[in-house]
Structure 1
Amino acid sequence: MTIHVPLITPFDADNEIAYRVLTQVAQETLLAGAGLVALGTTAEAASLSAAERRNVLDLLSDHSEGDLIAGADTPDQLRSLNGKARAALTLVPPFIRPGEDGVVEHFRTLAASSPVPMIVYHVPQRTGQALSADAIRRLAAIDGVIGIKYATGAVDADLVDLLADPPDDFDVFCGDDIFLAPMLAMGAAGAIAASAHIETAAFVDLAAHREPTLARRLARLSKVLFSQPNPIVVKAALHAAGRIPTPGVRPPLLPAAAPSLYGSLLE
């Protein structure tokens, strides 16, 4: 079982990327036993320029020790990962709501030309597109689709169905941090967890040992960290601990009103 941390993008006082700090956060994450995810939602990837995306990808590729997953949703973005990431985290098409058949065909088309394997990012609160367990099994049957980040906001019937009879060679990752413990108990491969910026080693330990007291404590932590749109509180906590230079986020996000209050979230 594995924990991957979708890294924030730290900004300096001028709202520019603090690349040296990003390197340090990445190194601390790896030392704690977790893998890295670049250019995900937590990274505010949509607010980065094309040049910033390239710089972040290059930096994290150089420091990932070969265990980098990177967000990529288009053919051009997928091609940019060649030689830099071991897998792509690819969003179910948002807003369009193409139906399950459309989603399957979309991933079949992308996978046919992608230079790296793909992990489906299933987050219907953002995309508007539901997927049944049957549709996920159809996705798993596509050559080059190796897993799913499952973030439906619930431990739902389709998740139970999927994990009761999981596809071969296909990893199901928890994408809703607060549900990590129950998903691990049902057989999930691990998590892509923004909360694991905080107490990274504890999340790694939970994935390995599934200790109930630790599970309850980390669930409470995750609830607080997601009490405002991600990554607002994560950044506030990291800044309060002196790990990043500012708690700043880019529009349309707004920073936490009192970021110093979140220092108590860190040991």
Structure 2
Amino acid sequence: MELHGIHVPLVTPFAEDGSVAADALEGLARDALAAGAAGLVALGTTGEPATLSEDERHTVVAVLAEVCRAYGAPLTVGAGGNDTRRSADALAALAGTADAALVTVPSFLRPGEAGALAHLAHLAERSPVPLVVYHIPYRTAQPLGAAALREVLATPNVAGLKYAPGGIDQDAVELLADGPAGVMAGDDVFLSPLLAMGASGGILASAHLATGRFVELADAWHKGDAAHARDLGRRLARLSAAAFAEPNPTVVKAVLHAQGRIPTPDVRLPLLPAAPGRVGPVLAALAALDD
């Protein structure tokens, strides 16, 4: 699997009765792929998987797998956890369902770089599908330096890296220095500079809201149209900042509901719905994309 382009980690929309709104989920998936998304992600953080029952998770994956098959697009499914043995078991269950699995660097335990690399290598060796390793140290509390991340990318059966360090630092510069394949921006507001530095694409929750424009941005950088990419990148960064003004995916869901694309803006505890004033700035940023 070659990881590139814009992948959308989909929200899990809820109906008025609190159940998963499968029809709305299918609509979001079709919209994203029709607008040029290279793939979809199920059960990422944006999809609130920790609050879903096992049956609900199966529903989400089944809906998105069917849409991806119809469009010939890859589906990546969030799986795994901190326990290496149980994580491997969870990955085994994805055989025949997913094209790749999104797995995080172990969180909370802080096993060190060596332990994290051993965990990921163990999973990669046993997974029936390629891994996309999610590096997000401000959530996991386990940073990995550029050399360790290069080792991750060189591991057999690792398709790529969702790179979300919370900024652009020396490790980012070193990681992208010679343009390794499969580095995907995971912090939405930093998409444009990471693409300029050689990232292959992005896995971005705010791409729900303007999928085609995010695809356009990635294409502009890859084609060397820096002037257009810089201008569009600034506009999309403002959109992403507004969409992440409160914990993800609360604002994204509120906007999708305001647009009539999902039946409710509901999230599940411990998340709380976005404040009413958060929708306006996102809608304004969307309008500004066409100014």
TM-score by length of 2: 0.88
> Please, which of 121, 130, 133 is the counterpart of residue 117 of structure 1?
130
In structure 2, the partner of 1:63 is: 67
Q: Is the 1:232–1:255 contact (alpha carbons within 8 Å) kept by the matching residues of 2?
A: yes
Offset at residue 113 of structure 1 (A) = 1.1
Q: Structure 1: how far apart are the matches of 2:9 and 2:19?
A: 19
Change (3 A) 1:75 1:181: same
Pair 1:171–1:99, CA change in 2 (3 A): same
Render the CA deviation track for 1:61-91: whole Å, top value 9, x for unaligned. 1111341111111223212221122111101
Superposed CA deviations along residues 17-39 of structure 1, whole A, max 9, x for unmatched, are 00011001000000001021110
Output the CA distance in 2 between the equivalents of 1:260 and 1:149.
27
> Shift of the alpha carbon at 1:236?
0.6
Deviates further, 72-81 or 25-34: 72-81
Query: How big is each residue's C-alpha offset from its partner over 1:215-257, in whole Å with a ceiling of 9 and x where there is no partner?
Result: 1100000000011000010001101111111100001000012
1:196 to 2:207 alignment = yes
SS at match of 1:246: coil
Assess if the C-alpha contact under 8 Å between 2:43 and 2:78 holds in 1. yes
> Could you tell me how far apart the structure 1 residues matched to 2:105 and 2:148 are?
12
Choose the corresponding residue for 1:247, options 265, 268, 278: 265
2:238 paired with 1:235: no
On the 8 A contact 1:121/1:149 being kept in 2, the answer is: yes
1:33-72 Cα offsets, whole Å, 9 max, x none, are 1021110000001111111111111111111134111111
Q: Distance in 2 between matches of 1:149 and 1:263?
A: 27
Once superposed, what is the RMSD of the aligned Cα atoms?
Answer: 1.4
Mapped partners of 2:192, 2:202: distance in 1: 10
- For 2:84, the equivalent position in structure 1 comes to none
What do the CA deviations read for 1:130-174 (whole angstroms, capped 9, x no partner)?
A: 10011112212221112110101011111100110344xx41000
Counterpart in 2 of 1:72?
A: 79
1:23-42 correspondence to structure 2 within 5 Å: 23-34=26-37, 35-42=39-46
Deviation at 1:265, TM superposition (A): 4.9
Q: 1:265 to 1:247 in 2, by over 3 A?
A: farther
Identity of aligned residues (%): 53
SS of structure 2 residue aligned to 1:107: helix
Helix, strand or coil: the match of 1:42?
A: helix
Paired amino acid for 1:15: G
Gaps in structure 1 of 5+ consecutive residues:
none
Does residue 223 (structure 1) correspond to residue 241 (structure 2)? The answer is yes
Q: TM-score, normalised by structure 1?
A: 0.95
The residue aligned with 2:83 is none
Q: Name the CA distance, whole Å, in 2 between partners of 1:141 and 1:241.
A: 42
1:95 alignment partner in structure 2: 108
- Whether contact under 8 Å (1:147, 1:171) holds in the other structure is yes
**Counterpart for residue 257 of structure 1:** 275
Distance 1:53 1:76, change over 3 A: farther
CA 1:263–1:15 in structure 2 vs 1: closer, same or farther (change >3 Å)?
A: farther
**1:164 is paired with a residue of what secondary structure?**
coil
Tell me the alpha carbon deviations over residues 94-150 of structure 1, each in whole angstroms, 9 at most, x when there is no partner.
100000000110011111110000011000111000100111122122211121101
Instruction: Provide the secondary structure at the position in 2 that maps to 1:109.
Output: helix
The corresponding residue for 1:142 is 155
Corresponding position: 1:54 with 2:58: yes
Alignment length (residue pairs):
265
Equivalent residues of 2:179, 2:199 under 8 A apart: no
